[in-house]
Amino acid sequence: MRYRAEVFVTLKPVVNDPAGLTIRGGLHTLGFDSVTEVRAGKYLVLTLDETDATQARARVDAMAEQLLANAVIEDYRIELEPVGEPVATGDASA
Amino acid sequence: MVFPGTWSDRDCAHAVLDVLQEPVRYVDHREQSVDDLELVILPGGFSYGDYLRCGAIARFAPVMDAVADFANRGGLVLGICNGFQILQEARLLPGALLRNASCEFRCEWVHLRVEQSNSAFTLDSRPGQVLRIPISHGEGNFFADPETLEVIERSGQVVFRYCGADGRVTADANPNGSLHNIAGITNARGNVVGMMPHPERACEPLLGSDDGLAIFRSAIHALARVPA
């Protein structure tokens, strides 16, 4: 099965985020005064072939631990969805 | 050590070979062994384009297993700028280097206060000595969690702090937002040092300072004291 994994990497709450602070300043300059906090991060989209969703998630988790995120300063979150094998819906063959 | 994107390797070689008259070999990132070396320098640059995070890809270069073995056996390793970032990604040094608090790339002369003379790279210095050495980085903002920071401080692993010309460690002298003005640290054993400033760019009076030589000279003296 082919899966699409989205990995969101953000600085841990205790880590100062100068980019986020600068973006917040820009938003305030534009008049978006309601913004109290901006956290900047990375968004990675992976496509991978694995036997099932559990295996796919475990693999992406290992990738995040080893490379995609630095546990000293970053947290990550994974969202996974199947995209591979065509789903037989029966209504597209007219 | 030369990774794709390393840019300060020739400056380091100039300091060690031309100025200090010690032999130098460029090590390709694909090599499997550094056992013929007495000192490994990871120079500055933008290894692998600094994609993902500074040093994150270089850390998995084939040669890095050999560097880790070398370091764990007590071999002398100096990481400068991007090299410091690589050593942290490889977990050979604690903490991480975040984007500068100013969000600006800072290229300027700074003063460093030597905090201890126990590491292999500060043997020839005395605590409190002030060195004038340039920085050139966008991500040199030293961070470690409170527990790690406490351990680093308590065990004397802070090697250099940003300071004023008079040696006073102040917020004004901090170019990048580093916690406790930390510019360089060592591992507990004292054989691995990482620093953001570039000592190789301050190795001759013509360059504006030769204060950086003390760091390379210390390593040479450390090697003379402890034969392999």
| Residue A82: burial class (beta carbons within 10 Å; 0-12, 13-18, 19+) | middle
pLDDT in tens, A7-54: 999 999 999 898 999 999 999 999 999 999 999 999 999 999 999 999
For residue A53 the two structure tokens come to: 């969703």
Fold annotation for B9-225: Rossmann fold (3.40.50)
Q: Where are the alpha helices (DSSP H) in chain B?
A: 9-13, 63-72, 82-89, 146-154, 213-225
The reply to whether B10 touches chain A by the CB within 8 Å rule is no
Please count the CA atoms within 13 angstroms of the CA of B143 that sit on its side-chain side: 24
Confirm whether B200 is a catalytic residue: yes
Q: Does CATH number 3.40.50.300 belong to domain A2-82?
A: no
| Neighboring chain A residues of B144 at a CB cutoff of 8 Å | 72
| B177 to chain A, closest Cα gap in Å | 10
- pTM summary value: 0.91
Cα-to-chain-centroid distance, residue B116: 15
pLDDT in tens, B125-181: 999 999 999 999 999 999 999 999 999 999 999 999 999 999 999 999 999 999 999
Element (H, E) at A80: strand A74-82
Beta-ladder partners of B185:
B158, B194
* Inter-chain CB pairs, A–B, below 8 Å: 38
Bridge-based pairing state of the strands A74-82 and B96-98: unpaired
Can you tell me the ipTM of this complex? 0.83
| B41 to chain A, closest Cα gap in Å | 23
Q: Which strand ranges, in their side-by-side order, compose the sheet holding A74-82? A: A41-49, A2-11, A74-82
Amino acid B53 reads R
Are B100 and A18 within 8 A, CB to CB? yes
